[in-house]
Amino acid sequence: MKIWQASNGELRRVLEGHVFDVNCCRFFPSGLVVLSGGMDAQLKIWSAEDASCVVTFKGHKGGVLDTAIVDRGRNVVSGSRDGTARLWDCGRSACLAVITDCGSSINGVAVGAADNSINLGSPEQTPSEREVGTEAKMLLLAREDKKLQCLGLQSRQPVFLFVGSDAFNCCTFLSGFSLLAGTQDGNIYQLDVRSPRAPVQVIHRSGAPVLSLLNFRDGFIASQGDGSCFIIQQDLDYVIELTGPDCDPVYKVATWEKQIYTACRDGLVRRYQLSDL
What mean pLDDT do residues 227-248 have?
89
For residue range 81-129, list pLDDT tens digits in order: 999 999 999 999 999 999 999 999 999 999 999 999 999 999 999 999 9
**Structure confidence by residue, pLDDT tens digits, 155-214:** 999 999 999 999 999 999 999 999 999 999 999 999 999 999 999 999 999 999 999 999
Task: Name the class of domain 61-204.
Answer: mainly beta
The C-alpha atoms of residue 120 and residue 271 are separated, in whole angstroms, by: 39
Q: Is the pTM of this model over 0.85?
A: yes
Given a cut of 70, is residue 137 above it in pLDDT? yes
Predicted confidence at residue 276, as pLDDT, reads: 64
Residue ranges of domains in the chain: 61-204
